[in-house]
């Protein structure tokens, strides 16, 4: 390369040269055996499938469907998933909601814990692998465009390129090329002089390194997907951690954390909509206070790598249960954060396990969606539906008023009072910082690709019948419709700079007529 940035003829490449015509085969002779690439083996086939855009679209669609399933179908809370006993009691709710055989089918497919399922993690891992293979397959071509641009193009390209501008200049071709290269470089382009054997020509490009933004974009996506899989394995997330007022709940997941909800406060606008709701909490670790604070929707509380978000709230009931001997076997509050459909009415409800997995007790309160009083559950009462282990139908259904005691299935149940619960989202993701790095790379790559697009121009200088020169500017940019206005303005400006006049201009043609030089 010369000091002015012009490549010597030996450094030029010709990726769009004319193909050679095949030699005729003599009559009576069988074709010679082909010598070339060996038959593709199974690795090549797998590589091509993983790198296929169609396969990638299928994986993205399956991932989107999986997320939709995990959003629409009830998901078991984190503490329920960690305990088979709690899950057996919890799954009675979906069975009543979806019915059979759908409920059993959803359970077999792990639709109640989509984001923790092995098949969902495998889908994310396969999508990450597909993106890596796709990037690896495209890498040689992108590097070639940046380091070995398609300098030489066939003569026919200047008459068939989607974008063309012809300028008439009074100067001779030999003296014009140097002036024209200088003017083009002033517009931020790199220029390379070349000859097609008959006339001088110029290749110019700008933002060639912007092609590398693709790598940053895809690398960021791979990092996010990989961190999602790793975070799903090493971390955890609980979207419905419900803690009634005045009670404590263990966070679980081997954290040693216990959250005490000291008070829940809700405030409303005059029109009745909530203006603020917050929880005053204390977090204990191994029995000692680790943090204390107020949690709002946009004001989480961090304890180490665990973050608590205020997500929702709702009613809860305090219950007391005694056995036949009069000893208290349950004295706690139950959050009614789930929706149950029955008799054509939706009601809030919750459940707890009584004794050594003897019974699952579901508690329902009057429906808040009805304009009239609930026809099944009177105001100030709760309905108890008691299930024996692995039984789809309740063995007892009773309605209790507040303060009332009643003996049911050998236990004495007492509805103490109704309170509120705080619904928290609890997240522990040890790779969250890695996700931020991936997001930054995606943003950087996207900005580079969209705001620094590769621009390529070829110029051919020919003798004009009037003794001057005809300069034909041509471009086959992929986004030629977006580039057309810029290309037209640039051609007109170059014409003025070299003292020429625009005599012809061709706008983008149909996609089928486009010639991609060097792509």
Tens digit of pLDDT for each residue in 133-167? 888 888 888 888 888 888 999 988 888 888 889 99
> Which letter does DSSP use for residue 498 in this model?
T
- Are both 394 and 460 inside the same structural domain? no
330 and 280 together in one domain: yes
Cis peptide before 69 (omega within 30 of 0): no
Task: With respect to residue 299, please indicate whether it lies within any of the assigned structural domains.
Answer: yes
pLDDT tens track for 29-59:
444 555 555 555 788 888 888 888 888 889 8
| 313 within a domain of the structure (yes/no) | yes
Backbone angles phi, psi at 135, to 5 degrees: -65, -40
pLDDT-based confidence at residue 110 (cuts at 50, 70, 90): confident
Do 381 and 279 fall within a single domain?
yes
CB 120 within 8 A of CB 109: no
The residue among 328, 394, 392, 390 whose CA lies nearest residue 364 is 394
Residues 295 and 255 grouped into a single domain = yes
DSSP state of 464: -
Could you tell me the sign of the dihedral formed by the alpha carbons of 93, 99, 104, 105, in that order?
Answer: negative
Structural domain count, the chain: 2
Instruction: For residue 213, tell me if it sits in a domain.
Output: no
Question: Would you say residue 295 has pLDDT above 50?
Answer: yes
Whether 316 and 414 map to the same domain: the answer is yes
Q: Give the separation between CA 186 and CA 483, rounded to whole angstroms.
A: 19
Per-residue burial over 467-506, b = 16 or more CB atoms within 10 Å of its CB, e = otherwise: ebbbbbbbbbbeebeebbeebbebbbebbeebebebeebb
pLDDT at 363: 95
pLDDT tens for each residue of 450-509: 888 889 999 999 888 877 888 989 987 756 566 788 888 888 888 888 888 888 777 655
pLDDT score for 450: 85
Q: Which of 131, 167, 188 is nearest to 445 (CA)?
A: 131
The model's pLDDT over 10-25, given as tens digits with 9 standing for 90+, comes to: 333 343 433 333 344 4
Kindly state whether residues 360 and 421 are assigned to the same domain.
Answer: yes
Which residues in 281-300 are b (16+ Cβ under 10 Å) and which e? Answer: bebbbeeeeebebebeeeeb
Point out the domain boundary residue: 394, 428, 462: 428
**Position 83 confidence tier, pLDDT thresholds 50, 70, 90:** low
pLDDT for 188-209, tens place per residue? 999 999 887 788 999 999 999 9
Distance CA 152, CA 201 (A): 9
What pLDDT does residue 9 have? 36
> Are 423 and 462 part of one and the same domain?
no
pLDDT at 10: 39
Does 483 reside within a domain?
Answer: yes
Whether 190 is in a domain gets the answer: yes
Longest Cα–Cα distance in the chain? 118
Q: What's the CATH code of the domain at 166?
A: 3.30.160.110
| Alpha-carbon distances of 203 from 23, 254, 414, rounded to whole Å | 33, 64, 87
Distances (CA, A) of 44 to 50, 59, 143, 220, 367: 10, 20, 22, 26, 61
Nearest to 472 by CA among 214, 160, 197, 252: 160
Q: Is 60 exceeded by the pLDDT of residue 6? A: no
- Residue 182 shares a structural domain with residue 308: no
Q: 0.85 exceeded by the pTM? A: no
Structural domain for 416, as ranges:
236-428
Q: How confident is the model at residue 519 (pLDDT cuts 50, 70, 90)?
A: very low
> Positive or negative, the Cα torsion across 350, 355, 357, 358?
negative
Residue positions counted in the chain:
519
Per-residue model confidence (pLDDT) at position 175:
78
Q: Is 41 part of a structural domain of the chain?
A: no
Percent of the chain with pLDDT over 90: 28
Give me the pLDDT at residue 399, please: 95
As a whole number of angstroms, the distance between CA 152 and CA 424 comes to 64
Percent pLDDT > 70 in the chain is 87
pLDDT at 354 over 90: no
Mean pLDDT score, 75-95: 73
Band (pLDDT 50/70/90 cuts) for residue 72 is: confident
| Residues 257, 395 within the same domain | yes
Residue 251 or 467, more confident: 251
In a domain, 104, yes or no: no
User: Phi and psi at residue 418, in whole multiples of 5°?
Assistant: -105, 135
Are residues 369 and 265 part of one domain?
Answer: yes
Q: Are residues 368 and 285 in the same domain?
A: yes
Contact indicator for 474, 161 with CB cutoff of 8 Å: yes
Q: Which of 428, 462, 478 is the last residue of a domain?
A: 428
CB 247 within 8 A of CB 333: yes
56 within domain boundaries: no
For every residue of 319-343, DSSP letters joined together read EEEE-TTS-EEEEEEEE--EEEEET
Residues 311 and 418 grouped into a single domain:
yes
């Amino acid at each position: 390369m010369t000091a002015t940035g012009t490549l010597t003829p030996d450094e030029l490449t010709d990726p769009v040269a004319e193909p050679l015509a095949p030699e005729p085969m003599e009559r009576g002779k069988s074709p010679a055996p082909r010598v070339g690439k060996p038959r593709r083996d199974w690795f090549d086939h797998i590589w091509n499938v993983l790198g296929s855009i169609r396969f990638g679209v299928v994986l993205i669609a399956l991932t989107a469907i999986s997320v939709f399933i995990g959003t629409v179908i009830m998901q078991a809370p984190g503490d329920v998933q960690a305990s088979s006993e709690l899950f057996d009691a919890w799954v009675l709710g979906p069975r009543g909601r979806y019915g059979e055989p759908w409920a059993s089918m959803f359970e077999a497919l792990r639709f109640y814990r989509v984001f923790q399922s092995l098949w969902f993690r495998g889908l994310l891992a396969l999508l990450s692998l597909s993106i890596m293979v796709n990037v690896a397959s495209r890498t040689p071509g992108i590097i070639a465009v940046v380091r070995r641009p398609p300098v030489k193009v066939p003569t026919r390209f200047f008459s068939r390129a989607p974008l063309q501008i012809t300028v008439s200049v009074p100067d001779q071709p030999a003296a014009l090329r140097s002036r024209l290269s200088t003017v083009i470089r002033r517009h931020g382009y790199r220029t390379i002089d070349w000859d097609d054997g008959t006339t001088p020509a110029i290749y110019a490009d700008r933002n060639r390194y912007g092609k590398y933004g693709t790598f940053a974009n895809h690398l960021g996506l791979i990092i996010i997907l990989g961190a999602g899989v790793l975070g799903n394995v090493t971390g955890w997330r609980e979207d419905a951690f419900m803690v009634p007022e005045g009670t404590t709940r263990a966070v679980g997941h081997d954290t040693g954390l216990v959250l005490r909800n000291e008070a829940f406060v809700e405030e409303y606008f005059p029109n009745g909509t909530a203006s603020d709701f917050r929880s005053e909490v204390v977090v204990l670790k191994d029995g000692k206070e680790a943090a204390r604070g107020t949690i709002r929707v946009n004001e989480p509380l961090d304890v180490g790598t665990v973050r608590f978000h205020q997500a929702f709230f709702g009613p809860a009931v305090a219950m007391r249960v005694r056995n036949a001997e009069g000893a208290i076997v349950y004295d706690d509050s139950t959050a009614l954060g789930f929706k149950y459909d029955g008799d054509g009415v939706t009601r809030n409800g919750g459940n707890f396990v009584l004794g050594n997995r003897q019974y699952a007790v579901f508690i329902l309160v009057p429906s808040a969606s009805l304009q009239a009083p609930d026809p099944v559950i009177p105001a100030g009462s709760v309905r108890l539906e008691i299930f024996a282990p692995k039984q789809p139908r309740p063995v007892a259904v009773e309605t209790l008023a507040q303060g009332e005691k009643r003996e049911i299935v050998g236990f004495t149940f007492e509805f103490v009072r109704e309170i509120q619960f705080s619904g928290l989202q609890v997240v522990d993701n040890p790779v969250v910082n890695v996700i931020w790095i991936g997001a930054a790379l995606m943003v950087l790559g996207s900005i580079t690709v969209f705001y620094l697009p590769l621009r390529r121009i070829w110029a051919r200088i020919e003798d004009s019948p009037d003794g001057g020169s005809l300069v034909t500017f041509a471009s086959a940019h992929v986004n030629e419709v977006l580039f057309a206005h810029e290309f037209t303005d640039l051609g007109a400006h170059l014409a003025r700079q070299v003292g020429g006049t625009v005599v012809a201009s061709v706008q983008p043609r149909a996609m089928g007529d486009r010639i991609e030089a060097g792509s």
